[in-house]
Amino acid sequence: MREKRLFLLIFLLCFFCTLSFSQTDIRFDDHFTDETMRVDYFQTGDAHELFFSIDQIYRQDGWAGNPENLIDRSNSGMYFLKVYSISSNKLIYSRGFATIFGEYCTTDPAHKGIKKTFHQTLLVPFPKSPVLFVIEGRDSSQQNLLRPVFSTVVDPTDVNIIHHTPCPDNRVFTLIENGHPHDKVDLLFAAEGYTDQDAEKFQKDMARLTKVLFSTEPFKSQKQRFNVRGVFRASSESGVDQPHKGIFRNTAVSASFNALDLPRYLLIDDNKALRDMASSAPYDTVIVIADSERYGGGGIYNDYTMTTVDHKRSEEVFMHEFGHGFGNLADEYFTSIVSYNEFYPPGIEPHEPNITALLDTDHIKWGHLLTPGIPIPTPWGQEEMEHLREERDATLAELQSKIENLKQNQTDSEEVKALQDKIEETKKSFRDQIEQIREKYQSLYKGKIGIFEGAGYTPKGLYRSEVRVGMFYQGSYGKVSEEALLKQILDLSR
């Protein structure tokens, strides 16, 4: 009996090892040519319904990805693309990604049933034979598990696939070249809102942001793994659209502030134009830089990163948004105004690597990085500060009420002024007390990795890894985010 059990154990072990091997040992040349299949598609819907439709499929020269790493095992991304060989039913390519629709469906208009359509692009190595093209999405009713939301068969011999030739008006600049696109992470800067005479400025802006990127870990120590290029297409007018100011510009990719009705959110409105521009050079990720002095930007995982270049905080914005676009890093702040409603549903673990719902204290995402002995969760004065804020607000409301009563009774203005001075003194007193608490915990936990409540747009129920607030803060991503970014770098290079 013991011998039979041993034989069964060996058989099962061999079976699962063979299964695992069959999914990981995928030879690029067996399934793909060294070309790119660009799939443009539409994503339409609201908070309740979702529809996909193929717009156009293109065949482009060269594949920029790592041919030795075709399967994305990160489980990171709002959606997942999976490509299966029709002849073998074998998964031959996958990659996590996000879309602007995934954000839109959490907004008030989407919950009211207002449908919108967004144009998107996915890139895959060009298959040699027919494939099943599958998009999976997160199901919040099933603990964020992935489930198929769209599938279609793609035949690489289809006569409707366009053999794409880049526009000769696009100018490509190479800033860093460390090797073949297969071997390196290929970054591509795309110009937006630069007129024909601004080509030199675009190159300088690209070089400046690249310098900032490679002065920061993990990019600093991994610089040799990158190629950096820029593609320039002249815009008819400078700048970008600013709807709240009644400013609209004729530009290369139609970038606009006020994306999702958030004034600082800057995204493009012409994805097809961007992908046509980007086809002029190999790329793993695109960074759109806009010739504007206004504060703003955006970053969508494995889609693109966007920033303006001439605001005093543009470099900081670029690094923050690149964390979203390149590494699927979540926002760690929880006080700023956003357009989303319950972007992270309670009781569900986020897929992003740098925040957690702390549903299982025995299996924390960054448990291997935790500072030994640190409390879980880690107190950082949040409740103390909140108590002071509540006390401050009550005191200020009482003082303001007294002022209103005095004004109604036409009391001497000196008494009113005394209360107004009292209000300013009260604000300063509470501000100083709150800052003392903040400094106390900042000092206590500086450089330490813990589980600090407050992240992902909510002060309760989501946690970040450091006491500081911000996915990119004072020139650093922090250890947890650095590790996630490094994994992405290693996956895309060899």
Instruction: Write down the domain spans for the chain.
Output: 21-163, 171-329+485-492, 382-445
Q: What angle do CA 455, 260, 109 make, to 5 degrees?
A: 100
- Contact between 136 and 149 under an 8 Å Cβ cutoff? The reply is yes
Q: Which pLDDT score, from 0 to 100, does residue 40 have?
A: 98
Q: In this structure, what token pair is assigned to residue 105?
A: 């469906």
Q: In this structure, what token pair is assigned to residue 329?
A: 């890093």
Please state, in angstroms and rounded to a whole number, the distance separating the CA atoms of residues 209 and 312.
13
**Residue 383, SS3?**
helix
The DSSP code for 259 is G
Q: Which pLDDT score, from 0 to 100, does residue 340 have?
A: 77
**Residue 348, SS3?**
coil
- Contact between 257 and 265 under an 8 Å Cβ cutoff? The reply is yes
350: preceding bond cis by omega (within 30 degrees): no
Q: Which pLDDT score, from 0 to 100, does residue 343 have?
A: 87
Please state, in angstroms and rounded to a whole number, the distance separating the CA atoms of residues 207 and 200.
11
Q: Which pLDDT score, from 0 to 100, does residue 6 have?
A: 39
**pLDDT one digit per residue (tens) for the chain, 494 residues:** 444 433 433 343 344 334 443 445 799 999 999 999 999 999 999 999 999 999 999 999 999 999 999 999 999 999 999 999 999 999 999 999 999 999 999 999 999 999 999 999 999 999 999 999 999 999 887 888 999 999 999 999 999 999 989 999 999 999 999 999 999 999 999 999 999 999 999 999 999 999 999 999 999 999 999 999 999 999 999 999 999 999 999 999 999 999 999 999 999 999 999 999 999 999 999 999 999 999 999 999 999 999 999 999 999 999 999 999 999 999 998 876 777 777 888 999 999 999 999 999 999 999 999 999 999 999 999 899 999 999 999 999 999 999 888 888 776 688 888 999 999 999 999 999 999 998 999 999 999 999 999 999 998 999 999 998 778 888 899 999 999 999 999 999 99
Which is nearest to 102 in space by CA: 152, 53, 50, 144? 50
DSSP class per residue in 125-163: EEESS-EEEEEEEEEGGGTTEEEEEEEEEE-TT-TTSEE
Instruction: Report, at the CATH architecture level, how domain 21-163 is classified.
Output: Sandwich (2.60)
CA dihedral of residues 258, 280, 154, 29 (deg, nearest 10)? -130
What Rg value do the Cα atoms of the chain yield, rounded? 26
Strand 79-85 and strand 171-176: pairing? unpaired
Beta strands in 291-396 (DSSP E): 297-300, 304-308
**Residue 447, SS3?**
coil
Q: Which pLDDT score, from 0 to 100, does residue 5 have?
A: 39
Strand 79-85 and strand 131-139: pairing? antiparallel
Q: Which pLDDT score, from 0 to 100, does residue 335 have?
A: 78
Q: Tokens 């979702």 map to which residue?
A: 50
Amino acid at 336: S
DSSP class per residue in 6-31: HHHHHHHHHHHHHHHHHHH---HHHH
Instruction: Report, at the CATH architecture level, how domain 171-329+485-492 is classified.
Output: 3-Layer(aba) Sandwich (3.40)
Q: Which pLDDT score, from 0 to 100, does residue 12 have?
A: 36
- Contact between 123 and 6 under an 8 Å Cβ cutoff? The reply is no
User: Is 21-163's fold the same as 171-329+485-492's?
Assistant: no
